Amino acid sequence: MKITPVEAGRFKLDGGAMFGVVPKRMWNRLNPSDDENMCSWTMRSILIEYGQRKVLVDTGIGFKQGEKFRSHFYPHGAELEDSLDEILVRPEEITDVFITHFHFDHVGGALKLDDQGRIVPAFPNATYWSNEVHYDWACDPNPREAASFLKENFVPLKEQGELRFIDVQKDDLDWMDGIRVRTIYGHTKAQMILFVPAESGTVVYSADLIPSSWHIRLPYIMAYDMKPMVTLEEKQRLLDECIHQDLTLFFEHDPVTISAKVAKDDRSRYHGVSLEKDALDL
C-alpha cells in the first residue's frame, strides 16, 4: 500500500488544553504559545492507495462554519483540496473516507457547501466510514464535549445515504485488505485508529490517542480527553506494541514531526525516534 501525508491546514488550540497536567514551563519549550496561550497544530490526513482504491483518513475543519467559529481556532495554511491537487488527486477520485471520530477538526472537511448553499459530500464518489456507537454518541453528546460535535459535519452524511458503519468489537477488526481498526474510548467514545500495512512496515494512524510526537510521553494526555486514565492504558498498550512489533506512529496534529518509531530511554520512559519521510516510504 502507498501512504501519503496530506495536509488539511493548521489551526490553534490552547496549549494547556493540549498538554493537560504537564506544566507550561515544560510544554512551552516544545510548542511555544502566543500571547493568548495558543499553539499551532497541523491537521494531517493520509491517503492510502492500493489497487483501484484511494482511501482518505480524516478531513480537517473544512469551510462550512462561519467566521465567528473560525476566529476561535485561527485556521491557516494549506487547504485539503489544494494538498490533494499537489499530489495529482482530484476529490472525485477518492473512493473511501475514513473518519476516526466526529470532532470538528477531523470531519469538518467531509462535507462542503455547493453553489446553492446546500451541504453536499466533498468527495462525491466516496463511501464514508464511521461506527454506530460513536455516531450515536456524537448526536447526543455530554455538555463537556458538545462543542466539538457540529452535527452539520456528519448528520447529512447519514441522511444522504453516504455513511456506512464498521462493527465495534473488543478486538481489532480486519477492515479492508489488511487494514486493521481498533476502537478506543479515552479521548471520546469509540474513536477509531488504523493499522495500515506499508512496504516499510505497519503504520499506525493514532488520531487523538497520540496526536503528536510530544504526546508519546505517558503523562502528556490532553485535557480534552473524556477518560484520561483510559487514554493512559490505551496509549501504553499501543506504545509497547510499537516497540515489540516495530510499528511506526503517524501523527495527525504534530506541526513538526510526521512519524516516528518508539523506544525507551535508560529510565524506561517512552520517546519517539523521528524518521525522515523517505525512510518511511510514504
Instruction: Read off the pLDDT of residues 119-138 as tens digits, 9 standing for 90 and up.
Output: 999 999 999 999 999 999 99
Average pLDDT across the chain, whole number: 94
Q: Is the pLDDT of residue 6 over 70?
A: yes
Can you give the residue range of the structural domain that contains 76?
2-280
Q: What is the pLDDT of residue 275?
A: 60
Does the global pTM surpass 0.85?
yes
Instruction: Read off the pLDDT of residues 183-236 as tens digits, 9 standing for 90 and up.
Output: 999 999 999 999 999 888 999 999 999 999 999 999 999 999 999 999 999 999
- Residue whose grid cell is 490552547: 14
Give 117's DSSP letter: S
Give the mean model confidence (pLDDT) for residues 163-182. Answer: 95
CA gap 131, 191 in Å, rounded: 9
Q: Is the pLDDT of residue 279 over 60?
A: no
CB count within 10 Å of CB 82 equals 12
Task: Specify the number of domains making up the chain.
Answer: 1
Q: Is the pLDDT of residue 277 over 80?
A: no
Task: Compute the radius of gyration of the chain from its Cα atoms.
Answer: 18
Contact 24, 74 (CB under 8 A): no
CATH number at residue 239: 3.60.15.10
Report the SS3 class of residue 206. Answer: coil
246 band by pLDDT with thresholds 50, 70 and 90: very high
Q: What is the pLDDT of residue 78?
A: 84
